[in-house]
Structure 1
């Protein structure tokens, strides 16, 4: 049963289910082939996870609810639950997010970071220092927590498309992991991911949308596109091959995003067929080889520096995907 306070917080902070539809957001019409409905189901799962997170009284309860979600959308529901727990923890005191990600959310950690970013979009910056739980011992923490900034960028582009996509605003830096200069780049990776949804997984439209941005932003935008295309799906192998050609000099960035998507899917224990197709089309690798590549390039050192470990990891993947250097199998 929902608590009165939980219901109030949900109404104030979460988009309503119809608010995430492409028509409601004013996105360009998608082909009448079911693509829009399949893609819309993803933010709808996030909204459901958020609502359950706001209303659940215990970790046991939220786990039971999320287990009811179809496996292909369960990770997205965990994004929403993580968003809710992050908001609750930041606005008060608690370890909900920590306990979730140390427990049932552990396989969905990489998506859960994105949920942290969704919470950041709804919290004042003064509270951001409270959003990242202590997950010492995880091989992905805190290096991969830059995905929270990616999630923040996705949220900005999805819900405020005019400002962040059409007007191409650039956010003020924030010292995430002591690297404020990298913050706008990670936001762009999230904006690129949002472009895949905004343009209904249509490679020609996505390509045009990326090219409309300043050239210096293209590499990170293409990385986000690759992550979305491989994780969320939406088109077949031939269209993805065309997308790779369209990316041109940024094909390695596109592939790097796909590699991270594969790693997240493998970690969660469910790899849908569209992720397999995308791995082959965007990287030339099988799912197993792409996941192995991600692990081989991993940078575990979380010490800050001129180039964040997260970017070092991304760079190593890109180098392996550059023609003449990647090992294909």
Structure 2
């Protein structure tokens, strides 16, 4: 494939670097350090997308991804997940990029890659969605998390300030429709951490404007972002925990998920511990271990998606810990 065609493919359906700047997006700027952090996250995401869009094959992209800084490499894998999903969804070429990516180095970044697939679905025509092969019955709901993040990040007024909900969402075709909004809201809440510029008071205030039934998922998403991306002090984390109130178990659940995503990929950094100690009462490694203890194992049964079963088990585990005075 010519370099010109690869460059064209890179530009298809993806934002420019400037669109990740908080001033361009109209997002809150808490302070220069947080602004730089969030904008670096955006640039690393797009760098990962570019690696996937332009590579001749997956090992080429993997080699480049592995050179990126530890703190931001997971975001680049998320961007690469989007890039390979876009390639799967295009009407020419092969359609197994995501599957092969997940069987290589992407195996350790599965959470981030599935979220990246959700970004791709937000930009691909819906009739191309079946070409994006996402089959894991446990983790596939992360795709809707990624979709929700994309919509809130790029259509903030509609999805955050107007609190828009997707009517009759067509994916997954065989999944319970009642869970779609909750999974999407987890991504919207995660985006709100960026929209609020990592300001815990502002993020909580935005969430509290939503109907009560949507707040648990929104707080969960914001808690995941606070743990994985960071950008806050210990005092600010505690402030967000206090504002979460009765939704703190959902914040703790998501914080443990973020710890798992970093531990399993070998990308654990100090701010992860800072967040899990504030939200879960334990260091990141222990939060990850609790997450694995509560993880459902196949065969799955029942009307509740196994991903939600996992989230509820984990939230209940931390709710009990909180009640015992951790």
Q: TM-score, normalised by structure 1?
A: 0.93
Matches within 5 A, 1:1-329: 3-32=3-32, 34-92=33-91, 93-133=94-134, 141-172=136-167, 173-176=169-172, 178-301=175-298, 303=300, 305-323=302-320
Deviation at 1:73, TM superposition (A): 1.2
Checking the alignment, whether the CA contact within 8 Å between 2:152 and 2:188 is kept in structure 1 is yes
What is the alpha-carbon distance in structure 1 between the residues aligned to residue 22 and residue 37 of structure 2? 11
CA deviation digits over 1:181-209, x for unaligned, max 9? Answer: 21111000000000101111111001101
Checking the alignment, whether the CA contact within 8 Å between 2:244 and 2:251 is kept in structure 1 is yes
| RMSD of Structure 2 on Structure 1 (CA) | 1.8
CA deviation digits over 1:286-321, x for unaligned, max 9? Answer: 212101110111012364642111000000001001
Deviation at 1:94, TM superposition (A): 2.5
What is the alpha-carbon distance in structure 1 between the residues aligned to residue 265 and residue 180 of structure 2? 26
What is the alpha-carbon distance in structure 2 between the residues aligned to residue 133 and residue 323 of structure 1? 34
SS at match of 1:13: coil
Checking the alignment, whether the CA contact within 8 Å between 1:27 and 1:199 is kept in structure 2 is yes
What is the alpha-carbon distance in structure 2 between the residues aligned to residue 89 and residue 328 of structure 1? 49
Deviation at 1:145, TM superposition (A): 2.0
What is the alpha-carbon distance in structure 2 between the residues aligned to residue 85 and residue 223 of structure 1? 27
What is the alpha-carbon distance in structure 2 between the residues aligned to residue 131 and residue 87 of structure 1? 8
Counterparts in 2 of 1:9 and 1:328: CA distance versus 1, 3 Å? farther
SS at match of 1:178: coil
Checking the alignment, whether the CA contact within 8 Å between 2:95 and 2:131 is kept in structure 1 is no
Deviation at 1:285, TM superposition (A): 1.2
What is the alpha-carbon distance in structure 1 between the residues aligned to residue 299 and residue 197 of structure 2? 36
Checking the alignment, whether the CA contact within 8 Å between 2:83 and 2:120 is kept in structure 1 is yes
What is the alpha-carbon distance in structure 2 between the residues aligned to residue 287 and residue 325 of structure 1? 17
What is the alpha-carbon distance in structure 2 between the residues aligned to residue 225 and residue 274 of structure 1? 15
- Structure 1 unaligned residues grouped into runs of 5+: 135-140
What is the alpha-carbon distance in structure 2 between the residues aligned to residue 14 and residue 185 of structure 1? 26
Deviation at 1:6, TM superposition (A): 2.5
Counterparts in 2 of 1:48 and 1:277: CA distance versus 1, 3 Å? same
Between the two proteins, the alignment pairs up a number of residues equal to 322
- Structure 2 unaligned residues grouped into runs of 5+: none
Deviation at 1:324, TM superposition (A): 5.2
Q: TM-score, normalised by structure 2?
A: 0.94
SS at match of 1:121: helix
Deviation at 1:12, TM superposition (A): 2.8
